[in-house]
A and B are shown apart, each in its own frame.
Chain A
Amino acid sequence: MDISFKNVSYVYQYNTPFEHRAIEDLSFSVKSGSFVAIIGHTGSGKSTIIQHLNGLIRPTSGSISIGNFNLSASDKPKNLKELRSKVGIVFQYPEHQLFEETVAKDIGFGPKNFGIGDNEIMERIQQACTAVQLPNDLLERSPFDLSGGQMRRVAIAGVLAVNPELLVLDEPTAGLDPRGQQDMMDMFYQLHKQKKLTTILVTHSMEDALKYADHVIILNKGKKYMEGTPTEVFANKDALSKVQLDVPEVIQFLHEFKERFEGEITYSNQSIKQLASELTNQLKGLTNNE
C-alpha cells in the first residue's frame, strides 16, 4: 500500500485553551512493500501519525492517502472499516489489549468483526499462530495464563489474522529480553518479506532501524527533521545530536575511533567480524605510515 502525507497538521483540542499542535506541515511518502522506520522522542508526533494511519483521527489540515483511501479535514472515508481491515496496528504493550476467554477467540476476534466466516477464521488463526511461532496447544488456554512474551505473540497474531497489507508496529519489542527482542524483530522482518507487507516501525532503537529499515524518517517536535536510507541518515551524527538523538552504537564507536586514531571507516552494513578486521588494518596502516 502506497502511503502519502501531504502538508499534514494535527491539533489536539483545536480552538480551546488546551490546543496542542502534535504534527505540523508534515509530508512524506512510503512506497508499497517498503520497510520504514519512524524515529523521534516522546512527544515528537509518532503516535499521532499512527492514529491517522487507520483513520482513528483525521488531519486538521493537509491530506493523507493510504492505498485508495483519502483522509482530510473535510474528507471522511465512508469505508473506514475496509481501511481498518487493511491496516494492522500493533500498539505498544499490545498484550494489555487481550480480553477473550481463550487464545483462539482472542486471535479470531478481529476477523470475526470484519465478517469473516467461521471456517476461514479457523484457518487464519492457524496461519497467524504459525507466523508468530505460537504452539497450537495454547489455543484453548486463557491468554492471561501465558508468559509476557507469549501474550504479546497472541496479541500480534490477532492483528495478523485480519490479513493486513500495511503493518504498523509501535515499539514492538519494549520489555522483552534480548533474545525475545531479536526473535520478535526477525519474525516481523520475515513476515514483511513473505507476505510482501508494507511495514512501518515506530521505534527508539537506532539499531533496529539500521538493521531492518529501507528508509528512515526522523521526527522532531511534530516536524520532519531528516529522512533517507539508514546509512545516509546515520552519517549525520551532528545533526542528530542537535535533536538529542544518538546514532546506532556501531556508528558511534567508529566516530570515537576516528577521533582517537584519525583513521576513518564508513559504515556499510559490515558484520562485527568485518569491522574488527577493517579497524585492525587501519591500526596497522597508521603505524606503517609513521
Chain B
Amino acid sequence: MSNSFVEFRNVSFRYGDDQPWVLKNVSFQIQSDKWVAIIGHNGSGKSTIAKLMNGLLFPQEGEIIVNGLIINEETIWDVRKSVGMVFQNPDNQFVGTTVKDDVAFGLENRGIPREIMIRRIDESLKAVGMSEYINHEPHRLSGGQKQRVAIASVLAISPNLIILDEATAMLDPKGRFDILQVINSVRNQERLMLVTITHDLNEIGYADKVIVMNNGSVWAETTPRALFAKEKDLKQIGLDIPFVAKLAKEFIELGIPINKTPLNHDELLEELWIYHSKM
C-alpha cells in the first residue's frame, strides 16, 4: 500500500441526473503529514471535493479511499472519525449554548467517556487559545474567535485530517492571520494533515502541495513555488499570483537574478540581498 491517506480515483460527480458534471474524472492523492491547498475559480468544484472527502456526498463514478477505506454508506462513520471539517461560516456549525457544550458535541456523539471528554475539551480549547472562553456563548464571540472554537470542536475528536473550506474567508486580515497561526501551532503539536480550500493567495504559500481545479477537472497538481511561476496561465483560469511573485517577475525582467519564485517578502528580500552583496 502507498502511504496516501486520501485517494480520489477517477471521480465524477453531479448534483442531479439532469445537471452538468461538477467533477469530471478527478484523480489525486494526499500523502500523510501534508498540507494541501485546493484552489480554483468559483464553481470549479473545490467545495464538492471537500464534501466527498468525508462522505457528505457520494460520487456517481469512481471511488474515494480515506485511511484505507473506500467511502460508502457503511464506512462513512469510520471515515468521519478521521476527517474533520470546518466551514466558511462558523455560525452554521454551532450547536451548543456554551463553548464547552459545543466542543463536547462531537465527543458525545461518539460516546466518549466523561473524564476523557473533559480532558479533550480542555486540550483542544487550549490549542486554539480559547481556554478562558469555555463558558461563553458561541454566538457572542467575534468572527475569529468563533472560527477558533469551530476548529477546537473538530480537534477534540482527534481527526487525522482537517478540511478547512474557506474557513478564513469571512475574517478580517488579523483574524485570518491568527487562524493560520493557530493551525500552524496545532500542526506542530500533533500529526495532522490539512486540506485548505481557499482564494487567499498568500495562504497557499504555506501549503506543501497545491491542487488547482478548473471547470471540474484537476488543472495542475504542483508546489506553490512552481505554481506562482505561471502567472499567465493562472490568470486565464480566473486566478492570480501573489504580489511578491509579481514583483519578483518584474525584477527578473530588469535583469536581476531571482533564483526561486518567492513565497513571501522575506524570500524576495533575501534574493535582493544576495544580488546586492555580489555587486
Contact = CB atoms under 8 A, between A and B. Distances in A.
The answer to whether A binds B is: yes
Interface string A43-86: 10000000000000000000000000000000000000000000
A274 to B, nearest CB: 9
Interface string A261-276: 1000000000011011
Given A175-B166, A286-B276, A147 B43 contact: yes
Interface string B249-279: 0110110100000000110110011011001
A136 interface: no
B172 A176 contact: no
Interface in A243-264: 244-246, 249-250, 252-253, 256-257, 260-261
B174 interface: yes
Contacts of A204: 172-173
Interface residues of A, number: 39
A242 interface: no
The residue in A178, A250, A253, A279 that gathers the most chain B C-beta atoms within 10 A of its C-beta is A178
B247 A272 contact: yes
Interface string B168-195: 0110111100000000000000000000
B174 A287 contact: no
B113 interface: no
B257 to A, nearest CB: 12
A241 B272 CA distance: 26
A148 interface: yes
B235 interface: yes
A30 to B, nearest CB: 23
Contacts of A245: 173-174
A178 to B, nearest CB: 4
Contact of B250 (A43, A176, A250, A272): A272
A179 B254 contact: no
B52 interface: no
A204 B174 CA distance: 10
A181 B199 CA distance: 10
Interface residues of B, number: 39
A179 B251 contact: no
A253 B41 CA distance: 27
B135 interface: no
B219 interface: no
A41 B172 contact: yes
Nearest to A277: B254
B254 A280 contact: yes
B40 interface: yes
A260 B266 CA distance: 10
A135 to B, nearest CB: 15
Contact of B170 (A41, A174, A272, A275): A174
A174 B166 CA distance: 11
Given A179-B235, A179-B238, A204-B173, A276 B254 contact: yes
The residue in B88, B175, B247 that gathers the most chain A C-beta atoms within 10 A of its C-beta is B247
B101 interface: no
Contacts of B41: 177, 179-180
Given A272-B243, A276-B251, A283-B272, A42 B142 contact: yes
A178 B279 contact: no
Given A175-B88, A175-B166, A252 B238 contact: no
Contact of A42 (B88, B175, B235, B251): B175
Contacts of A286: 276
B24 interface: no
Nearest to B166: A175
B134 interface: no
B46 to A, nearest CB: 10
Nearest to A249: B243
Given A246-B173, A272-B243, A284-B279, A147 B250 contact: no
Interface in B28-43: 40-43
A148 B272 contact: no
A164 interface: no
A287 B43 contact: no
A149 interface: yes
Contacts of B238: 177-180
B42 A43 contact: no
Nearest to A146: B43
Contacts of A175: 42, 88, 166, 169-170, 199
Given A181-B199, A253-B247, A257-B272, 9 more contacts: A148-B43, A174-B170, A177-B199, A178-B201, A180-B41, A250-B243, A252-B265, A275-B247, A279-B251
16 contacts: A42-B144, A42-B175, A174-B170, A175-B169, A178-B201, A181-B199, A244-B174, A249-B244, A253-B243, A276-B250, A277-B254, A279-B272, A283-B275, A283-B276, A283-B279, A287-B276
Q: Which 3 A-B pairs have the closest CB atoms?
A: A276-B250, A179-B238, A178-B240
